[in-house]
Structure 1
Amino acid sequence: MFETLQDQPADKIMELMGIYAADPRTDKLDLGVGVYKDASGKTPVMRAVKAAEKRLLETQASKSYVGLLGDLSFVEAMAELILGPDRPRDRLCGSQAPGGTGAIRQIFELIRRANPDATVWMSDPTWPNHPAIQKYVGLKGRSYRYFDPVTCEVDFEGMKADLAGMVPGDVLLLHGCCHNPTGANLTLDQWREITALVLDKGALPMIDIAYQGFGDGLEEDAAGLRLMLAAVPEMLVAASCSKNFGLYRDRVGAVFALSRTPAEAARTKANIANLNRLSFSFPPDHGAKVVEIILTDPELRADWMAELSAMRENMLTLRTGLTDALRRATNSDRFDFIRNHRGMFSLIGATPAQVAALRAEHGVYMIGDSRINVAGLPANASTSSPPPSPRRWPDTGPI
């Protein structure tokens, strides 16, 4: 049987991790892998997570199944965190999911079941797993302009022009905050314009929010999503706890669906439960229980928010430091966009040849599209000397 299988392309990030690990240079720099790192280069377990795990270890009395939708107390706590206290509860349903990827997969499966002819509109560029999963489940996909490679900011006019081609029943996939891979994000006024466009075209918005709290704050990062939630008849949300709780390997995520009526919400909920049963039956409970304990305990929640705030401020400091260092190295403001971006990532506009030169000549590792993880920068980014300006590299062309 297995002789019929075809080779599959290697995951670019996993491949880069292997190359980096094999590099013997001691001054190498990993800006590729999408995990938060502290000043020592480690991805720490957050204090509140450790405390919640200790409490869970001492009090958990059973490892029996929880339910097809997962821990509903976790789902409710996540809804409060992401969707806010003013959410239309009677038209909403939610489910735990095995990480952000699992949430995206279940939403695409739900879309296919509800409307197999739907077209999913995705930003250019977007997280590579978005189009990969869209294609795998058999949905149609289209891209819309999002990132201007010259300014390294949002191409909002191009975005609106492309999305004018949406038709009723199409799905518009948006990043809730901290756009991956670009780091360039919509303003609240731009969210308002896109909301009006969604309503005019009869499209269904789908929000992937994987970095809440990494941009400008928990409330600020959810503001665009909540604005749209209050205005549209239907919406889908995929959420991840990998980054803001540091629960990468525990696979903690959530799915939310807003329906037109309470009756439709009940049917949607039943369909999500059925899709879960056909995929993984019961989502993993440990990480979700940890999140629920943190979000419902005032002391643990305050400590989590304080540590999350420190992580966010650290990334903003690193952005400022890198921007200042590049200003000195290039004698220009060409890279000031790095300071303006939010989240872990920035797309810096380098060519594949320049990315390869950075790796070969300086031991600086990043994804081939020139996405950098600013959390991977050294703490002395503002005082250390950056690699030579790409403008001085031979045969690579200007950035």
Structure 2
Amino acid sequence: MKNRKEALQAALSCLDETSLLDLTRKLIAIPSHHGLENPEREMAAYLERFLAEAGLTVCRRLTAGGRFNVIATLGKNRSPEKTLMLNGHMDTVGVENMKGDPFSGEIVDGKIFGRGSVDMKAALASMIHAVLAVKEAGIPLEGQVVFAGVADEELWNAGTRDLVARGPRTKYAIVGEPTGLRIDHGHRALEWIEIVIRGRAAHGGTPERGVNAIEKAGKLLRILCDELLPAINERTHPITGPSTLNLGQIFGGTQPSTVAGECVIRLDRRWIPGESTESVLDELREIIRRLREDDPDYDGDVRNMRDMAMNTVGQPPLLTAPDSPLVRRLSEALSRFGPSPRLGAFPGWTDGGILSSAGGIETVVFGPGDLSVAHSDREFCPVDEVIRSCPVYISTLLDLCL
């Protein structure tokens, strides 16, 4: 190829939109939801065969958690500065209470339906077809593109943690979570935190002989809502947006006629640069300490629900400058194919945090579909966004790896 423009036209001529949608539907049809013994096993085996038959260098690799990643590469990798990872998770949340067949992949009114359609099998199919279009066009890459279909994103991120630990490493990465084709160059870190308040069980007819853990938890909740939450809401960062705390679960006691001997509160805590795992745990522990000072019967502990021995990486923030090379190239690609480039922060957490903070890889989140319908009882991805995302991936791939 004489130049990038010719290379791009050659790759676009090899893009088959019908095959792209067929692959999306096939991936939706393969169950990979949590609740299965090994959620990604069947899908990983299928992708390994599909990518090998397409002529890519591919391997299906076992992670520490006994789950599989699928890694495929294209290019000579003569320059580490010209390497890009297209990263997407193969697992999905469960299918309980879904309306209709969760694995149908049916297309109705311009939408493709099924569990994982938007989160994120449509993006996986689009990324794969971007790589295949470049290969079929015979474009020799100076660098290398890596497709990484990863395991366990919906819980503890074993797949991408394995990539960071064992490679391959790249200069740039795109995580295909649904952004509505907006370039999200940052997001907050995430911790799931459990607070256990212990009391003393007694018969409900003689409550004075017990210590009611639910009553004690009420004191903690008042402080969380009246003091800590307003303070957290004041913390913000120009890339990630504001810090947050969500009271996600509370349960305690055994029956109405027994004084509750224990009450458990579980929190979702999204933190930003300037905070840390330890700082968010410590401010909760400080509240428990204050309550204990005022009430000698107060007994509570704060713990991170993540196994911090097994997962030392955690779920850190994603931080990429808005004027970074990757953001610029994606913006240029969007300008070529539409819609107009938009930048933002992803509202959820993604494997991009691990690639960015732990892997030192310049990373953004970019993919088709709306996050609000992910995990829903009628999940879907707009067909036009699936189709429009692929030329953007192709153009960015060539700009960075050619």
Q: What TM-score do you get using the length of structure 2 for normalisation?
A: 0.28
Richer in strand (by share):
2
Greater CA radius of gyration, 1 or 2? 2
